[in-house]
Amino acid sequence: MNGLRVIPAWRHGQERLYVCLTDGRNVAWYDRETARVNLLSEERREDVLVALGPFLTGPVTVGPPPVPTPAELARLTLHPDDDLAPNRPGEALLTDLDRDPGPAHRLRPDPRRRALAAEQAVGAALDQLEGGGWHTLHSVALPGGDRIHHLVIGPAGLFCVHALYARKQRVLVADPTVTVGRREPRPLLRRIRADTDRASHALTAEVHAVLAVVGPARLDTPAPPREVRVLLDTDLVGLARLGGVLKPADVEALHAMARDRHTWLRV
């Protein structure tokens, strides 16, 4: 026995296997996606490889951890209060409901809870893209009280995704209005385009608008709306199949910029 333990952990949706001493200190970690064993101590190379042996399924690269990129260094310097990456889907709604849950008995369901269910469903779908070179930020606050439900950054570009609850209801998209069930039409597409334009300004990059409709009985779009993709929440994983336009370094740099709360204060 070499006194090393292998402990699995998850970071940003990806599994890492940490190799630790008996006192808990790390001496190495193995990234499955990159097939790389990162050594903190070259003297432990053979012991680390023996400990990881049962978990290695093919050739691996072994060496010291790579030098952090400028984007990674920028992320590491963020104060926790300024980092948007830990936001949960519907973070703003969760906070609002925690502060004011509303009366225990209501004649009608609280619309905030329906909106939260939609953002959580869309967030779960988008989080499936993690690990394939994609990052998702949830509940990005904008000045004036507006909010981007989800911002997705990956090889196919940047997408501003608005979640719409429509469980078992008919949805009619007639640019610029969206009608859910028997409710009055709302010019929702104007808001989505405005939020997307603000995201493009903040990040100085092209951002595409997406309306994600959650659980409708029927979705009608007589004509494709201008500059807005309309998708079911179950179809969002298809974004990964779009053509690649961003290099990995560009994705990481944009994600580092977008996760900083200060980036959004000027829009």
**pLDDT one-digit tens code per residue, 11-62:** 555 678 888 888 777 888 898 888 899 888 788 899 999 999 999 888 899 9
- 104 band by pLDDT with thresholds 50, 70 and 90: low
Residues 160/192, Cβ–Cβ less than 8 Å: yes
**pLDDT one-digit tens code per residue, 186-239:** 999 999 999 999 999 999 999 999 999 999 999 999 999 999 999 999 999 999
Q: How much is the pLDDT for 200?
A: 94
Q: How much is the pLDDT for 71?
A: 67
Q: How much is the pLDDT for 58?
A: 84
Query: What is the total residue count of the chain?
Result: 267
Q: How much is the pLDDT for 130?
A: 86
pLDDT above 90 coverage of the chain, percent: 63
3-state secondary structure at position 112 = helix
The Cα angle at residue 68 between residues 62 and 71, in degrees rounded to 5 = 140
**pLDDT one-digit tens code per residue, 137-164:** 999 999 999 999 999 999 999 999 999 9
- Whether the per-residue pLDDT at 184 is higher than 80: the answer is yes
Q: How much is the pLDDT for 2?
A: 66
pTM: 0.74
Burial 9-39 (b: 16+ CB within 10 A, else e): eeeeeeebbbbbeeeeeebbbbbbeeebbbb
Q: How much is the pLDDT for 162?
A: 98
Higher pLDDT, 76 or 247: 247
